[in-house]
Structure 1
Amino acid sequence: MFDGVVLVNKPESMSSFEVVKFFKRYLKKKVRIGHAGTLDPMATGLLPLCLGRATKLTQFIMVGLKEYRGQMVLGKRTDTYDREGEVIEERPVSSDLTIEDLRRATKNFLGKIKQVPPPFSAAKHKGTPLYVFARKGIKVEKEPKEIFIKDFEIVRFHGGNLVDFRIVCSKGTYVRSIVDDFGKIINTGAFLNRLLRTKVGPFTLDEAYDLEEIKGYLEEGRISEIMLDQEYVLSHIPSVEIDRYTASDVVRGILLDIHTIEGLLKKQNINVDPIIPYLRLKVEPNGSEAFTVAVANWPPCLGDERVKMAKVFVTPMNKESRIERRVEK
């Protein structure tokens, strides 16, 4: 069975789609594959790849915060906001500029902010990626979207024009846009020179495998040995424990009362994450390890009285649900 998540250390100059094609080339059977969070070809680092039924977990992986380490070049702006674009503006970098000045400027980006997708990006306008319009010289005005920046740290100012940084942000954040905006605030201009993704949700780059390593597992038919299971993949989503009778109701499609879940959260002293719009419902069978029955949309929308499920993982089978068999044996 090829159902699980593999963590890939994506090399430079390879697109996320090309990584998917790499897997398909070496798998000996047709398997559905998707990635959780696109990395530009220039970017390197952690790329979670979902195989088989695990592709249904992609939306939950992507809501986790992401950490990047990068380098920006001051004094120039490019049309793509990174080193691969054409220089559109040059400004002098003052010799009086200090690392303290740069660190003060990062405070403008912390918390919830609005961001407009860069013109050279896969964000779509009327079904067409923005980069298609940009290559034709057509300017498209996109509405800004809300993103969240948890941390933005200037790690090192090399002097001159190189700056190393670390940023922790929500999904949908274009780091090169952050760099371009940062350059405007410090009045020098800036573009992204390097970008390494080090974390996605619960995953870290240390857990990822290089493509050559993965190739060996694929050729030997041992890829399942490095796949992550569902519980670990979902571990960044807050969870509340429910009893087996409530779990059986969830499996049967019976919607739970919101006040029931609120009561359990309070009783179990569970703090929900304001950034993650989900809540895991877990059940602990007798003598077995607790596992996730479903992921609910949380917090509920204003006016809702019942909890809506984003995904139920255990489905009824032969008039007796798998959940009942697991919790009663």
Structure 2
Amino acid sequence: MAGEAGGAALGRAADKLFSLSGLFAVRKPKGPTSAAVLNLLKERLLAEAGVQTNGNKRNQVLKIGHGGTLDSAATGVLDQVTKEDLENVLLKFTGDIMQVPPLYSALKKGGERLSTLMKRGEAVEAKPARPVRVYSLSLQQFQPPLFTLGKDVECGGGFYVRSLVNDIGKELSTCATVQELTRTKQGPFTLEEHALHEDKWTIDEIARSLEHCTALLPGGPSRKKLKTEHPGETAVICEDK
């Protein structure tokens, strides 16, 4: 009898998992890639639901995607620049600007990510500059050779912070790269209020998060409108320090 009760509970968990559909926020720690975080999330949820998978077939069982790739790590430096120099340069990168995406990115060439091609040592050409928008940009801290941009760096889609920092270095006749990056907001979802920590990657917690996050979407669309032919979730990835 105990075995039958346990099986019924797992069946209910699986039914609940596959009935979920919509948007929710996940906190991404520093280290793993965005794809690795999604894979771990899938494994946790499928294990909780008692769903058996066969290796790479797990993607066919539960569909989860993310709204924007975050790098696993980066390093940085800035040399022989005054605080006033830096503040003046930041003004040039506010508003509508042209930006060349970084070579090490999720953009694709011939169906493969540029980052994957670079890891294999293949020659990769930069993508053409494209228009992006920066709503606000400010200097929070300046401690040569390091500087920190304010938390109010607000930008539109397709914008790369790594390209911004690289361009700032060039504008100052030096070089600069990213040492640490934290995305504090993606659309209406904030890191502090909405992003689920790893200890809350459960079916029930995600169900509650879906209800809460769906209400934040423009126009307040219902969950019914968000359902697709393939039940699953779309995760918005946020990165922790």
> Which contiguous aligned blocks of 4+ residues in structure 1 show a shift greater than 6 angstroms?
none
Q: 1:73 maps to which residue?
A: 77
Q: Which runs of 5+ in 1 are unaligned?
A: 44-70, 76-92, 236-279, 281-290, 294-311, 316-329
Contact kept, 8 Å, 1:133 with 1:140, in 2: the verdict is no
Q: 2:64 maps to which residue?
A: 33
More strand by share: 1
Q: 2:11 maps to which residue?
A: none
Q: 2:150 matched to 1:162?
A: no
Mark the CA change 1:163 to 1:24 in structure 2 (over 3 Å): closer, same or farther. Answer: same
RMSD: 2.6
The equivalent position to 1:189 in structure 2, one of 175, 178, 199, is 175
Q: Which runs of 5+ in 2 are unaligned?
A: 1-18, 52-60, 228-241
The equivalent position to 2:186 in structure 1, one of 176, 200, 204, is 200
Contact kept, 8 Å, 2:141 with 2:148, in 1: the verdict is yes
SS in 2 for 1:192: coil
SS in 1 for 2:30: coil
The equivalent position to 1:125 in structure 2, one of 100, 109, 134, is 109
Q: 1:212 maps to which residue?
A: 199
- The percentage of counterpart residues that share the same residue type is 32
> Normalized against structure 1, the TM-score is what?
0.53
Alignment length (residue pairs)? 191
**Relative contact order higher in (CA < 8 Å, ≥ 6 apart):** 2
Mark the CA change 1:213 to 1:109 in structure 2 (over 3 Å): closer, same or farther. Answer: same
Q: Give the Cα–Cα distance (whole angstroms) in 2 for the partners of residues 222 and 155 of structure 1.
A: 35
The residue correspondences of 1:179-328 to structure 2 (distance < 5 A) are 179-207=165-193, 208-214=195-201, 217-218=202-203, 221-229=204-212, 231-235=214-218, 292=221, 313=225
Contact kept, 8 Å, 2:102 with 2:126, in 1: the verdict is no
Mark the CA change 1:99 to 1:209 in structure 2 (over 3 Å): closer, same or farther. Answer: same
Which protein has the larger Cα radius of gyration, Structure 1 or Structure 2?
1
> Normalized against structure 2, the TM-score is what?
0.70
More helix by share: 2
Q: Give the Cα–Cα distance (whole angstroms) in 2 for the partners of residues 191 and 184 of structure 1.
A: 11
